[in-house]
Amino acid sequence: MPTTPPSLPTTPESLLPIVLQAMSRTPDARLRELLASLTTHLHRFVLETRLTEAEFERAVQFLIAIGQATGPKTNEVILAADLLGVSTLVALLNNPAGDGNTESPAALLGPFWRANAPLCEAGQDISRCAVDGTPLDVRGTVYGGDGKPLAGVTVDVWQASPTGLYECQDATQPDMNLRGRFTTDAEGRYFFRTVTPAGYPVPTDGPCGELLRAQQRHPYRPAHLHFMVSAPGHKVLVTQVFPGNDRYLDSDPVFGVTAALVGRFDEVERDGRRVTRLEHDFRLAAGETVFPHPPIP
């Protein structure tokens, strides 16, 4: 009777040690650790759920679809990570909040950040076309971990329009509309004008939309402003600020809202008209200045 070599699997449970042994020669220690852990969790998931061949095929089709649906205007891969809460989890894990923390709370990057937004002067309006919405004045101060104001900090901001669309989704908006980069002054202050954003549905015309519908989840994000705050010698802060009265604040489909990200949006008068004002400060922690890869060009 032939003898089965010990390096060959004989049961579903016997496969994992053989796979891990084959991967154990990976020279990069961190890559070896990550892949071993991922593989272990995947094998345990398959065994625990008794995954069928049809379910496995459907999962593979979903991965293929989010890749094929990603292009210059959309990033379904990032959106999938957002909808599963992974993007927010990574942000919370790597930017812990709490007593003694010297950095403002972080948030997920989202699928719509574009690098090299226009450089703007203080007080400039980033709304570059006529829109029907409430004007919004945004100002604040950026501090270092020592509590002192930081001059020369880049405050990169982007947002959706009052109709809930980013300019890359809307042919009626000019390129780089509602995007801009500002520099803090000698007192660490920044200031810009814009229009109050609206909440919006995440894209639902691709595989991620199918996922939401299968889970009977709504697609609507609460209104928010995106910020990326950076300075040499400091960690790049990626965050968002939300108004506290948005109806979707506690049901964000990408789980991007934490209590610390809710800002104070006040109604004030400017030049004889009612406008919204947001005053929001940021604090940067010392560290390496590393920028994320833009989800879209």
Task: Write the secondary structure of 88-121 as one string of H (helix), E (strand) and C (coil).
Answer: HHHHHHHCCCCCCCCCCCCCCCCCCCCCCCCECC
Which is more confident, 297 or 59?
Answer: 59
pTM for the whole structure:
0.84
Per-residue confidence band for 99, with pLDDT thresholds at 50, 70 and 90: very low
Q: What is the pLDDT of residues 23-54, one digit of tens each?
A: 999 999 999 999 999 999 999 999 999 999 99
Instruction: Check whether 272 has a pLDDT greater than 90.
Output: no
Q: What is the pLDDT of residues 173-222, one digit of tens each?
A: 999 999 999 999 999 999 999 999 999 999 899 999 999 999 999 999 99
pLDDT, residue 216, reads: 97
Q: What is the largest CA-CA distance in the chain?
A: 95
- For the chain, the distance separating the N- and C-terminal CA atoms, rounded to the nearest angstrom, is 62
Q: What is the pLDDT of residues 229-245, one digit of tens each?
A: 999 999 999 999 999 99
Q: What is the pLDDT of residues 102-153, one digit of tens each?
A: 689 999 898 899 999 999 999 999 999 888 889 999 999 999 989 999 999 9
Which is more confident, 106 or 100?
Answer: 106
Contact criterion met (CB below 8 Å) for 230 and 289: yes
- Report the share of the chain in percent with pLDDT over 70: 96
**Closest of 162, 171, 169 to residue 127, by C-alpha:** 162
Residues with Cβ within 8 Å of 117's Cβ and at least 6 positions away in sequence, in order, are 156, 157, 158, 176, 179, 180, 181
Contact criterion met (CB below 8 Å) for 283 and 145: yes
The highest-level CATH class for domain 75-283 is mainly beta
Per-domain residue ranges of the chain: 12-51, 75-283
Q: Where are the beta strands (DSSP E) in 199-292?
A: 200-201, 220-221, 225-230, 237-243, 262-263, 265-270, 273-279, 282-283
pLDDT, residue 101, reads: 57
**Closest of 3, 4, 9 to residue 21, by C-alpha:** 9
Looking at the DSSP assignment, which residues form a beta bridge with residue 157?
180, 227
pLDDT, residue 237, reads: 95
User: Could you tell me where the DSSP H helices lie in 109-235?
Assistant: 207-214
